[in-house]
Structure 1
Amino acid sequence: MGKISKFIYNKILGWRVRGEFPVLSKCVIAVAPHTSNWDFLIAKLAYASIGRTANFLIKAEWFVFPFNLFFKSLGGIPVTREKNSSLTDSLAAEFNRRNQMQLAITPEGTRKPVQEWKRGFYYIAFKAGVPILLVGLDYGKKEAISLGLIYPSGDYEKDIQEIKSRYKGIQAKKPGNFLL
C-alpha cells in the first residue's frame, strides 16, 4: 500500500512529506488545518506514503454495511456520542489495551472556522501517557509537514499555546476557515 500511496501522493497529486516523522508505537497525531473533506485523503495518503498506518475517528452512522468494511480496513474507529460515556476515557483505555496505536485527530473538530480547538486530542494523549505528533497540511506548498512532538504536561492552556504556534504559516485548503 505504501508504494501505491507514495505514487498517488507524490506523482499524481504533487504533494510531498517534509520533516521527521518518528517511529512511535503509540501517539496521537494532531492533523491541522482541517477545512476541507480533502484533508482526510491528503493526510491518509501522506502517512501511508511513508509506510505508516493510523487509526481515525468516524461517526458510527457511517459504520453500516458496506461502508463499515471500507472504513475498518482504513483504520476507522466508530464513535457513538452518548451522554453517559467519556470518549476521551474510552480512547485512553484503548491505548492502554494495545501494543501499538497511532490515532489521527483533527483538533479543530470541524471544517468550519473555530476560535477554540477541541480538547479531546490533548486529554486522550495526556490520559494515555503518549506524545502528540503535530502534522500540518500546507496546501500552499503541497506538503504534509511534521511539526514535532509535544508531551502533554497536564497544563492545557500552556501546552495549547505551544501547539498552535507550530501551525503558524501553514496554509489551509480554505484559508479563511483556519483560525489560530
Structure 2
Amino acid sequence: MKQTICRFIYQKVLGWKAEVNVPDFDKCIICAAPHTTNWDLFIGKLFISSIGRESGFMMKKEWFFFPLGILFRWMGGIPVHRSKRTSMVDQIIQQIKKSEKFHLAITPEGTRSANPEWKKGFYYIALGAQIPIVLIGIDYEKKCISANKYLIPSGDIEKDMREIKLYFKHFKGKHPEKFALGEI
C-alpha cells in the first residue's frame, strides 16, 4: 500500500521517473547526489518507497527540533552532530553488522552548497562493514532519479572516489550552481 501511494505521488502527481539497475542488497550505503535543496530528502524518500525499498538517512542535528524531529526520526533520520568528533562511522558499522537489513542514504557533499571537498564517511562505513555503495543520482532537469551503478569499496579511496564522482558528473540538481565535484 505504501509503495503504491508513493509511486502515485512520485510518478503521477510530481511527474518524476525512476531508473533502477542495481540489485536490492540486504545491506548497502546509498551515496545520493547532487544535494542542492531540502526537497531532495522528500523526492528521495518518495523514490525509494516507490521502488519498494527502504532507507534511513543522515541529517544535521539542528533539524531535529520539535515537531520536525519526530517526523524525521519516523522517516528513518539519524541526527549528526557535525561540530563534534564522534565515532559515528564506527557506530554505524557496528549497527550494520548487527542488522539483517540496513540501507542508509548519505549525501557526500555534506551540505546543500557547492562543496568540492566531499565527505568520505559514507565510503569508510561501507569499507568497514564490507558492503556495497549504491550510487543514486538526482536529476531535476530530467525529473529522474537513477540508481544505475554500485561499487564495492576497494580500499583505494582515491580511485574509488574518482569513479563515484564521475558517475554524478551529468546529474543536474535543483540548483546546479550549488553542486561541485571538485578534482576528479
Q: Does 1:163 align with 2:164?
A: yes
SS of equivalent residue, structure 1 residue 28: strand
Q: 1:165 to 1:97 in 2, by over 3 A?
A: same
Q: 1:94 to 1:82 in 2, by over 3 A?
A: farther
Q: Which amino acid aligns with 1:12?
A: V
> TM-score, normalization: structure 2?
0.91
Q: Does 1:34 align with 2:40?
A: no
- Contact preservation (8 Å) 1:113, 1:179: yes
Q: How far has the Cα of 1:83 moved from its partner?
A: 4.1
Q: 1:167 to 1:62 in 2, by over 3 A?
A: closer
- Structure 2: distance between partners of 1:84 and 1:43: 28
SS of equivalent residue, structure 2 residue 37: coil
Q: Residue in 2 aligned with 1:90?
A: 91
- Structure 2: distance between partners of 1:89 and 1:150: 20
Q: Does 1:4 align with 2:5?
A: yes
Alignment length (residue pairs): 180
SS of equivalent residue, structure 1 residue 148: strand
Q: Does 1:49 align with 2:50?
A: yes
Q: Residue in 1 aligned with 2:152?
A: 151
- Contact preservation (8 Å) 2:19, 2:148: no
- Contact preservation (8 Å) 1:147, 1:166: no
Quick check: 14-23 or 128-137, which moved more? 14-23
Q: Residue in 2 aligned with 1:77?
A: 78
SS of equivalent residue, structure 2 residue 125: helix
Q: 1:61 to 1:36 in 2, by over 3 A?
A: closer
Query: Cα RMSD over matched residues?
Result: 1.5
Q: Does 1:130 align with 2:131?
A: yes
- Structure 2: distance between partners of 1:58 and 1:143: 23
- Contact preservation (8 Å) 2:131, 2:152: yes
Deviation digits for residues 122-141 of structure 1 (CA, Å, limit 9, x no counterpart): 11111111100000001111
Q: Which amino acid aligns with 1:28?
A: I
Where structure 2 has 5 or more consecutive residues not aligned to the other structure, the ranges are none
SS of equivalent residue, structure 1 residue 43: helix
- Structure 2: distance between partners of 1:169 and 1:134: 13
- Structure 2: distance between partners of 1:179 and 1:58: 19
Q: 1:11 to 1:164 in 2, by over 3 A?
A: same
SS of equivalent residue, structure 1 residue 9: helix
Quick check: 46-55 or 77-86, which moved more? 77-86
Q: Which amino acid aligns with 1:128?
A: A
Q: Which amino acid aligns with 1:76?
A: G
Where structure 1 has 5 or more consecutive residues not aligned to the other structure, the ranges are none
- Structure 1: distance between partners of 2:113 and 2:119: 13
SS of equivalent residue, structure 1 residue 34: coil
Equivalent pairs: percent with the same residue?
A: 47
Q: Which amino acid aligns with 1:116?
A: E
- Contact preservation (8 Å) 2:108, 2:119: yes
SS of equivalent residue, structure 2 residue 160: helix
